[in-house]
Chain A
């Protein structure tokens, strides 16, 4: 195999595929990336057995072939080269990377040992905006649990219903749901993507084309555009029926500026205890609520935040981290909080944004 291409193009695909490649030591071959020529283009693939990626870039091909090399070594090399174009040639058991002024040999591995990337065979592929998909994932993924307790909770749930695609994640202490509008005929049924694959999926999605194809079968999901094919394992299981726990009515409603709330929580983090507890007291008459934190080792802090309040005065404890995290996903200037008392979740959402909502459980102590 011998090809010639621009350094930047090659660097980009090596970078992407190297991110996916396995960092597990047990099977050496997985730490590498696979290169293969396909009539005037180069196919680069890698996998960590959770995710698999295949990217093609246009190259000038002198001779066909395939090779497996360490992605890490190739990446470091390419980042340090100054020249514009590189020539890559497979010679016996090494890969020669040469530019006008440099020449490097990298050890190769037998290409027959490199695993194949599963192809998702789905009857109906879905065409989607990558930006929407990315937005959906970004709005909720932080709410999933990274503990391996329940696989269905350490995942992001995607489902379509009546012209909307729903993204949901929960760790059973808080829950986030985002919906995006899609064409009515789009149908993705109850898919659970493992949370540990989500950061990489989001990174790849960011760089994909405007429209991508989504395919789902029983065990795999894939995202593809003309150059990139990304596939992830799916989790088998049933996501809890979360709709039934959304409170229908509340005792107290607060409307508060998102910035005010974010600033208060920024300060709270220094004075909260190891459980990140904040105490919230709502004073309807004064049109404000109090956020107080206390840490026996450091000190105490009290803040008053202006708000539009309806309903009853109420006092509750929360983990401020849970509330803080959702603010990034809320569009608009103001946030509404609907409180219903001890043991009942609080609903948070943007006042002008109907597509996102967030549930947080109060702390009982």
Chain B
């Protein structure tokens, strides 16, 4: 409640207090406040339905009159029953808790109406150079929901913050009390919903359910690949929402064009709004994320440790959080600050797994990726389409597997170590300018690890 409405309601209450008995006032008016106001309607929060009925039947004209005296723009007053405030009574509970374990009842954290997890907000979202474009797009959507960037399509690898960002949009719109119906759904849930609606012969209900929302947020859309019926249903749903200027937000781990078995008509529709990529966070962003997360946990970390963690875990924010949590936990357990060495041993398992792959396997993966014969890599051919994969192999062997130059040379068709150095340097240099190459190498790395 803003200070303006607080003051306004305070004035109204003072006036009413003069006109009714003290008991009446404390029974009917004490726990009321202005929830929000909009277009001349004041929404008053009341503790229960009894109060709602009574204020409406008995004191409505009095309230309205006082409000009009203070601000002329008020046209009407609505009463809403609000959730009661919790009274903290920890003391009694604490004593009890000492001896009896509690049933591990977890609060239902997720709101059933909109499926949003309140944990994901913009306040806890760290904006860095890597995700500022995506963040800016969501900010634009918040200001003009449904009018700009519709649909918004956010893609990026796992753990880059897609879900956080799109849920934050929902939570923000919810908190502004715009009255928009928001719904967050994972593709898997969408598919399940559709399947069960078909089974129980209630497809109409399914259609109606999803068509009533003003903002539909759909996560992990890439799981829809190969699901033709669901895609068709999504297509119709999309058209309906889009034509009615309802905001749609998608997330996926790939650009829509690279999602296999996705119908072209969907692809082109996804591309109609805005497609943004959230790449891996850079070192500075990882640093900032760690700092923010540590602060949120009321935990302070030395700069050199943050620096180390940020460089040790390079791609995934989720992993970053996991490691931070274990650092916090260990610190609490030991009751003192951890040394850098201890942290190193803690992080050991979280660092990129360096599986002992044979050169052959790497060659196989890369050759498959570029769709060439494996043998050609080892041969002395200088065809362009062979040279590039060969250089990529050398680069990966050097960077990821720490092979020595001579041993790489020996394994890739008996080449000189100078050749290898040259190749690695070349790839390194090209990476600085060629974004496509970077993406390719990342995909290859993913293939190798899996």
Is A241 an interface position by the 8 A CB rule? Answer: yes
Task: Identify which of A28, A148, A361 contacts B100 (C-beta below 8 A).
Answer: A361
Is B178 an interface position by the 8 A CB rule? Answer: no
Query: B87 to chain A: which residues have CB within 8 Å?
Result: 148-149
Q: Is the CB of A118 within 8 A of B50?
A: yes
Give the CA-CA distance A78 to B86 in the complex, in Å. Answer: 42
Is A175 an interface position by the 8 A CB rule? Answer: yes
Contact with A along B34-64 (1 / 0, CB 8 A): 0000000000000011111110011000000
Query: B27 to chain A: which residues have CB within 8 Å?
Result: 24, 26-27, 30, 49
Query: B48 to chain A: which residues have CB within 8 Å?
Result: 49-50, 219, 233
Task: Identify which of B84, B88, B105 contacts A170 (C-beta below 8 A).
Answer: B105
Task: Identify which of A28, A118, A359 contacts B52 (C-beta below 8 A).
Answer: A118
Query: A49 to chain B: which residues have CB within 8 Å?
Result: 27, 48, 50-51
Nearest residue (CB) in B for A22 is: B27
Task: Identify which of B53, B84, B104 contacts A151 (C-beta below 8 A).
Answer: B84
Give the CA-CA distance A90 to B208 in the complex, in Å. Answer: 56
Give the CA-CA distance A174 to B96 in the complex, in Å. Answer: 13
Contact with B along A27-57 (1 / 0, CB 8 A): 1101000000000000000010110100000
Is B102 an interface position by the 8 A CB rule? Answer: yes
Q: Which of B106-114, B366-374, B412-420, B438-446 sits within the interface?
A: B106-114
Is B123 an interface position by the 8 A CB rule? Answer: no
Task: Identify which of A47, A236, A345 contacts B50 (C-beta below 8 A).
Answer: A47
Using known A-B contacts A173-B100, A175-B103, A238-B112, determine if residue A149 contacts B57 with beta carbons closer than 8 Å: no
Q: Is the CB of B81 within 8 A of A218?
A: yes
Q: Interface size on A (CB < 8 Å)?
A: 51
Is A220 an interface position by the 8 A CB rule? Answer: yes
Nearest residue (CB) in B for A244 is: B106
A-facing residues in B85-131 (Cβ within 8 Å): 86-90, 92-93, 96, 99-108, 112
Q: Is the CB of A151 within 8 A of B102?
A: no
Nearest residue (CB) in B for A173 is: B100
Q: Is the CB of A240 within 8 A of B50?
A: no
Q: Is the CB of B49 within 8 A of A219?
A: yes
Task: Identify which of A27, A345, A365 contacts B103 (C-beta below 8 A).
Answer: A345
Main secondary structure of the interface of A (DSSP, over half): loop
A-facing residues in B377-433 (Cβ within 8 Å): none
CB distance from A317 to the nearest CB of B (A): 8
Is A150 an interface position by the 8 A CB rule? Answer: yes
Give the CA-CA distance A275 to B96 in the complex, in Å. Answer: 8
Q: Is the CB of B107 within 8 A of A343?
A: no
Give the CA-CA distance A245 to B104 in the complex, in Å. Answer: 7
Give the CA-CA distance A242 to B104 in the complex, in Å. Answer: 9
B-facing residues in A312-365 (Cβ within 8 Å): 319, 342-343, 345, 359, 361-365
Q: By CB atoms of chain A within 10 A, which of B26, B53, B88, B90 has the most?
A: B53
Using known A-B contacts A27-B23, A220-B49, determine if residue A245 contacts B105 with beta carbons closer than 8 Å: yes
A-facing residues in B1-38 (Cβ within 8 Å): 23-24, 26-27
Is B336 an interface position by the 8 A CB rule? Answer: no
Give the CA-CA distance A343 to B58 in the complex, in Å. Answer: 54
Q: Is the CB of A115 within 8 A of B49?
A: no
Query: A148 to chain B: which residues have CB within 8 Å?
Result: 86-87, 89
Task: Identify which of B52, B58, B105 contacts A242 (C-beta below 8 A).
Answer: B105
Using known A-B contacts A118-B50, A147-B92, A218-B81, determine if residue A364 contacts B100 with beta carbons closer than 8 Å: yes
Using known A-B contacts A27-B24, A241-B108, determine if residue A173 contacts B52 with beta carbons closer than 8 Å: no
Task: Identify which of A219, A237, A238, A363 contacts B101 (C-beta below 8 A).
Answer: A363
A-facing residues in B119-151 (Cβ within 8 Å): none
B-facing residues in A150-184 (Cβ within 8 Å): 150-151, 170, 172-175
Is A116 an interface position by the 8 A CB rule? Answer: yes
Q: Is the CB of B26 within 8 A of A115?
A: no
Is B83 an interface position by the 8 A CB rule? Answer: yes
Q: Is the CB of A364 within 8 A of B99?
A: yes
Q: Is the CB of A233 within 8 A of B50?
A: yes
Is A304 an interface position by the 8 A CB rule? Answer: no
Q: Is the CB of B102 within 8 A of A233?
A: no
Nearest residue (CB) in B for A218 is: B81
Give the CA-CA distance A47 to B49 in the complex, in Å. Answer: 12
Is A239 an interface position by the 8 A CB rule? Answer: yes
Q: Is the CB of B50 within 8 A of A275?
A: no
Q: Is the CB of B89 within 8 A of A26?
A: no
Give the CA-CA distance A226 to B23 in the complex, in Å. Answer: 35
Task: Identify which of B54, B86, B103, B108 contacts A172 (C-beta below 8 A).
Answer: B103
Q: By CB atoms of chain A within 10 A, which of B50, B51, B83, B101 has the most?
A: B50
A-facing residues in B306-355 (Cβ within 8 Å): none
Using known A-B contacts A115-B50, A240-B108, determine if residue A174 contacts B103 with beta carbons closer than 8 Å: yes
Q: Is the CB of A240 within 8 A of B101?
A: no
Is A277 an interface position by the 8 A CB rule? Answer: yes
6 contacts between A and B (CB under 8 A): A49-B51, A115-B50, A147-B93, A277-B99, A361-B100, A362-B100
Given contacts A219-B81, A362-B101, 13 further A-B contacts (CB under 8 A): A24-B27, A50-B48, A50-B50, A149-B93, A172-B103, A173-B96, A174-B103, A239-B108, A277-B99, A343-B101, A361-B102, A362-B100, A364-B101
> Which residues of B approach A to under 8 Å, CB–CB?
23-24, 26-27, 48-54, 57-58, 81-84, 86-90, 92-93, 96, 99-108, 112
